[in-house]
Structure 1
Amino acid sequence: MYDAIIIGSGAGGAPIAHVLVKQNKVVLVIEKGPLIRAQSDTELSQFKRDELISDGVEKVVNINVSNRGQPFYNSHVEPDINDEPHIYKDGNGQDVATIEGYTAQCVGGGTNLYGGVSLRFTPTDFALQSFNAGRSLKNDPNGDVERECRNWPYDYNTLLPFYERTEEVIGINGTSANQLKPWNEDKYLRSLQPNPISIYAFDGMTKLGNQLNSSNPAKPYRTPLAVITEDHLPSGRKVPTDAESIKTSYVNRYGDPLGFKSSTWVSLLSPIEKLPNLTIKPNCVVTHISSQNGKVNKVFYLNPDGTPQEAEGKIVVVACSAIESVRLLKVSALLNQDFDQRINQNNLLGKYFLTHAFGGASGLIPNRVDKSVALDSDWATDCCNNDKFLKDAGLWAGATIYNNTSDSALPLSLFRTKDAMDLDMLWKGLQYDMNLRGDKITDFLDKNFGRRLSISYMANQVPQFNNRIDLHSSIKDKWNRPVAYINKSWHSHDIALMDTIAKNCGEVLRLAGMTEIGFGSSYGAVNGLIRIANHVLGGARFGTAENDSVLDMNCRAWHFDNLYVTDGSFMPTSGSGNPTHTIEANSFRVADYLLTIL
């Protein structure tokens, strides 16, 4: 029997495996996707430069949904839509198949492909119920925010040492100065030189900070990025003598074949891979788990060749990313009465599904620069992420604003992402713009290539009971399990918040002297209802009361002795920045707790 079985190897699972294995616990990590190694002296990496483009011939959706017959491509780190779709209900009440919600299926999960932006949440993010008590907010006539919002069961200071541990052990570069969050020890690696285009972001953010609060303006800081810029002792990774040479826009949204991006594979699992008490099983699908008298007794999975297997552990950690974790728990409940009665006791599993409210603005600079020599982002600001701003603007929660240095850095990516806001929309801008041909292609490149700069934000989405993950009644995956069925809408206050922050993103560009500025937010996308992107959160929120949460404050499922859920599904609110850093920090926190009971 294993001390711990961990299902999923990304931000929610790998920190726990790392801590337990280093304390001599016997751990099994099961991952649905392959193990893709970084390049070594003797072997090239299997990561390809096509993670979000294609890995083969065009395919067609053949599921009985409204977008049946539409073409798609799938990559070597994402499932085929026909094999394992996520289904959502669109504004017309029709079912649509999507690839959204799958960042990557490989050892290290989505941390292999994300841009690496690693922002801490603010103290207010952990206490939004208290902060909004008695407040009158924009576009919230029924008081939904105050009624539905929950404080986290711990505060910022509780997570602070785990933020610091994550920054040190994962390998994150950035600057702490000017961040409007409490700080103890600065564990960041140094930042590399910003790309020349980012001077416009710095200038506009500085001016916006003064405009919003002249007596105490928020100032820009270097965006924390999970990319090593110096030799990293905890993982044994090294950078070239000329560290500036590692800058490449391929780090953003692609697997990094050189291992500079701090995925949980290269930073946490690879350094302990050869220890005898760790077993990693890639290309293995967990089909369900079972329990008896409140104790998870077996994990059922399929070997790469499809052979059924079983495993037993003293504890079981589910960390498949929010949608797939909720689906696994719901599928397990269909097959085991004890599991069903316990996990569904309060009818909250799958409810309060969250993403981020996000969007931004883009504009043109006067001259052209080479954006390919960059990482994901250079500058960020908390000027729209402090209590004064929220009270002045009538908003329930704030947002971190940062620039996207590396987006559309190459002509191919500029065309691929034209008018796209998510994975489902790649390449479709060309389909919609039939006039983009001949000389107009040259004109498009002359105008946009190396001149377009975008400013983005991430903000909390208002929790809603009816935003939920269910099991679809008829559509099954290739293993004959019900697929995830996502029902989601935007609250009217979400829209007010997104409009306000997006306009401030546009103001950053205007104040910097840029032209042809446009702004928008996720609710306005073609598939604006779904807009789950890669930030899938909630659905199994943690809390202090059994009747009001799925998990306790240590992420243990209520009414189970040994079942834990540690991906983003534990979050009761989605935070004011990219979630990976907080998921990792919380996982380190849970790992320390597990050491006390194993």
Structure 2
Amino acid sequence: MIVDDQHYDLIIIGTGAGGGTLLHKLAPTGKKILVLERGDFLPKEKENWSAVEVFGKARYNAREQWYDISGDPFRPQTNYWVGGNTKVYGAALLRMREKDFEKVQHQDGISPEWSVKYQDFEPYYTEAEKLYSVHGKQGDDPTEPPHSEDYPSAPVSHEPRMQQLCDAILKQGLHPSHLPLGLRLNETDADDSDCIRCKTCDGFPCKVDGKGDAEVIGIVPALELPNVTLKTEAKVVCLHTSPSGREIKAVEAEIGGRSHLFFSDIVVLACGAVNSAALLLRSANEQHPTGLANSSDQVGRNFMKHLMTALVQLSPKPNHTVFQKTICVNDFYWGYLDYEYPMGHIQNTGSLLQEMILTEAPPLLALLSKLMPGLGLRQLASRTIGWWLQTEDLPDSNNRVRVDGSKLYLDYTTNNFEAHDRLIYHWTEILKAVERTENKSGLPLDIYPYSNTTIRVVGHQCGTLRFGEDPTTSVLDLNCRTHDVDNLYVVDGSFFPSSAAVSPTLTIIANALRVGEHLISRLS
């Protein structure tokens, strides 16, 4: 084993939304920081914008196997790169609603109360939006919580077809609004804009650094400082404690096929909800026989990842939109008409390219060909509008991360189905009503929902190391320090007690800034 002769003030494990943002916050302190990332920098190459490579061949997904509740292997849709999953995310950065921090009754169970409330997070949401250049507009969405400051950037404009659709949805009595997006975009000065509003944004790596991702925003600027060291292709395999078990003394990582040992005063996990829990379980020792920081038996439990459906709207009217992902609708978030329970959030997907019809949703190809015989894939794709629907996944202690030897198990059973099905139904009816109003040709409209609730889709993972005030029912305290180990913190999505229905990324970023403020105080 190679023992690093440096002693660090802090080690951050992982460089995604949590780890990359925390590094941004702490790097200016001058403290000696080591960052360990199991992946490398994602290469800028022509395949970045190839739907066949990105979706069909899963070129940038982790090349490993996890196992489901039946013991069957699957390749997870997660990404080990500098910047983590933000390298391929859709850059939708929404705040959780005020009520999301409270106890909420769903048809299938309870979304539990958070011990930290929206007003506690609000200053960090504002800081996060500034840091990640979030474009948005207040006032359109009645569910949006109050902001102490306006969005730092103007909303990303709707292209003509999307504006027409937005106006038509408004006439149905709903409140379509601008989707908050973290883009390095300046629509008034192209020379000052990294983002080029291309078709390959949502789910693709960005070749021009136009997304506000954790590598671009957090990691790269911090590396200019002499107190920051990044080691890539460094897979952390174990955390070693002191004899008492009350503090981490060393971090063990595999680099180039050899074991390395690193020492620091504080260790922060940001590996993602699945891998952070797995690392604690794999670090079991005499003082922590069931896994590190697991006296509550909650490590790995309450895994959540949203119920998600991509819905393809096929219309006779061509859609020439290039950058499509600009609309969101939250009228169904807390219920609708005769259904009193929350249903969820709706936003556009990126453009549906012809290659994506072949690679991402093969059943769609047969359907579209039947509906419009004689049309080529390009013509079919040009008549689609994509929508993304997501519903809150309720915490369940039986939905959990387990390890058995070298194998990582994700025991998971989906819940809250009816709420998600009702969201799909109501949105389909709205789109049909819009099309009846717009469509004068008499040609048919069809809606094709394509489920993304399979076990391998883990982009919105959260909840496996929930925070709270009671150490018997939570793993982390309210500063996201483990109850059992004094110098061990977590800043990824693991800390969520509930998943809400909006994407978790902005809340992970805001929480990293919040925890960073605490760590600055502790380090000083």
Letter of the 1:118 partner, please give it.
L
Determine the structure 2 residue equivalent to 1:416. 359
Q: Deviations over 1:512-560 (max 9, x none)?
A: 21653335474xx6xx562643111111111111111111111111111
Determine the structure 2 residue equivalent to 1:151. 113
| Mapping of residues 347-386 of structure 1, within 5 Å | 347-359=297-309, 361-371=311-321, 373-374=322-323, 377-386=325-334
**1:510 Cα deviation after fit:** 1.6
Check whether the contact 1:399–1:457 (CA below 8 A) recurs between aligned residues.
Answer: yes
Determine the structure 1 residue equivalent to 2:4. none
Determine the structure 2 residue equivalent to 1:64. none
Check whether the contact 2:293–2:299 (CA below 8 A) recurs between aligned residues.
Answer: yes
Cα distance change of structure 1 residues 201 and 351 upon mapping to structure 2, 3 Å threshold: farther
Check whether the contact 1:556–1:562 (CA below 8 A) recurs between aligned residues.
Answer: yes
**1:459 Cα deviation after fit:** 2.3
Determine the structure 2 residue equivalent to 1:8. 14
Determine the structure 2 residue equivalent to 1:516. 445
Cα distance change of structure 1 residues 509 and 88 upon mapping to structure 2, 3 Å threshold: same
Letter of the 1:509 partner, please give it.
L
CA distance in 2, matches of 1:307, 1:276: 26
Check whether the contact 1:455–1:505 (CA below 8 A) recurs between aligned residues.
Answer: no
**1:52 Cα deviation after fit:** 6.3
Check whether the contact 1:201–1:403 (CA below 8 A) recurs between aligned residues.
Answer: no
**1:390 Cα deviation after fit:** 6.3
Cα distance change of structure 1 residues 520 and 192 upon mapping to structure 2, 3 Å threshold: closer
CA distance in 1, matches of 2:357, 2:283: 43
Check whether the contact 2:92–2:503 (CA below 8 A) recurs between aligned residues.
Answer: yes
Aligned to 1:547, which of 472, 475, 481? 472
Cα distance change of structure 1 residues 339 and 111 upon mapping to structure 2, 3 Å threshold: farther
CA distance in 2, matches of 1:55, 1:122: 32
**1:359 Cα deviation after fit:** 2.1
CA distance in 2, matches of 1:27, 1:47: 34
Determine the structure 1 residue equivalent to 2:511. 586
Match of 1:513, SS state, is helix
CA distance in 2, matches of 1:51, 1:20: 36
Check whether the contact 2:345–2:389 (CA below 8 A) recurs between aligned residues.
Answer: yes
Where structure 1 has 5 or more consecutive residues not aligned to the other structure, the ranges are 38-44, 57-71, 211-217, 232-237, 420-427, 474-480
Check whether the contact 1:178–1:220 (CA below 8 A) recurs between aligned residues.
Answer: yes
Q: Deviations over 1:77-121 (max 9, x none)?
A: 3322xxx212113xxxx433222341x211111111011111111
Residue 345 (structure 2) pairs with residue 400 (structure 1): yes
Residue 237 (structure 2) pairs with residue 281 (structure 1): no
Aligned to 1:329, which of 268, 275, 280? 280
Query: Identity of paired residues, percent?
Result: 25
Check whether the contact 2:308–2:391 (CA below 8 A) recurs between aligned residues.
Answer: yes
CA distance in 2, matches of 1:287, 1:457: 36
Determine the structure 1 residue equivalent to 2:417. 495
Match of 1:268, SS state, is helix
Aligned to 2:90, which of 108, 115, 120? 115
Q: Deviations over 1:494-517 (max 9, x none)?
A: 111101111222133123216533
**1:567 Cα deviation after fit:** 0.9
CA distance in 2, matches of 1:244, 1:341: 44
Cα distance change of structure 1 residues 239 and 416 upon mapping to structure 2, 3 Å threshold: farther
- Over the residues paired in the alignment, what is the CA RMSD in angstroms? 2.9
Aligned to 2:252, which of 283, 297, 300? 300
Cα distance change of structure 1 residues 51 and 577 upon mapping to structure 2, 3 Å threshold: farther
Check whether the contact 2:48–2:206 (CA below 8 A) recurs between aligned residues.
Answer: no
Where structure 2 has 5 or more consecutive residues not aligned to the other structure, the ranges are 1-6, 437-443
Q: Deviations over 1:294-340 (max 9, x none)?
A: 1011100122x22211111111111111111111111111x564474
Residue 165 (structure 2) pairs with residue 220 (structure 1): no
**1:360 Cα deviation after fit:** 5.3
Residue 15 (structure 2) pairs with residue 18 (structure 1): no
Match of 2:516, SS state, is helix
Residue 392 (structure 2) pairs with residue 460 (structure 1): yes
Q: Deviations over 1:465-500 (max 9, x none)?
A: 1111111x4xxxxxxx62321111123xx1111011
CA distance in 1, matches of 2:358, 2:485: 50
Check whether the contact 1:166–1:585 (CA below 8 A) recurs between aligned residues.
Answer: yes
Cα distance change of structure 1 residues 336 and 319 upon mapping to structure 2, 3 Å threshold: farther
Aligned to 1:98, which of 74, 78, 99? 74
**1:346 Cα deviation after fit:** 1.6
Letter of the 1:407 partner, please give it.
S
| Mapping of residues 559-578 of structure 1, within 5 Å | 559-578=484-503
Cα distance change of structure 1 residues 519 and 464 upon mapping to structure 2, 3 Å threshold: farther
Cα distance change of structure 1 residues 54 and 540 upon mapping to structure 2, 3 Å threshold: same
**1:253 Cα deviation after fit:** 1.2
Match of 1:575, SS state, is coil
**1:74 Cα deviation after fit:** 4.6
Cα distance change of structure 1 residues 162 and 501 upon mapping to structure 2, 3 Å threshold: same
Residue 66 (structure 2) pairs with residue 86 (structure 1): yes
| TM-score, normalised via structure 1 length | 0.78
**1:274 Cα deviation after fit:** 1.6
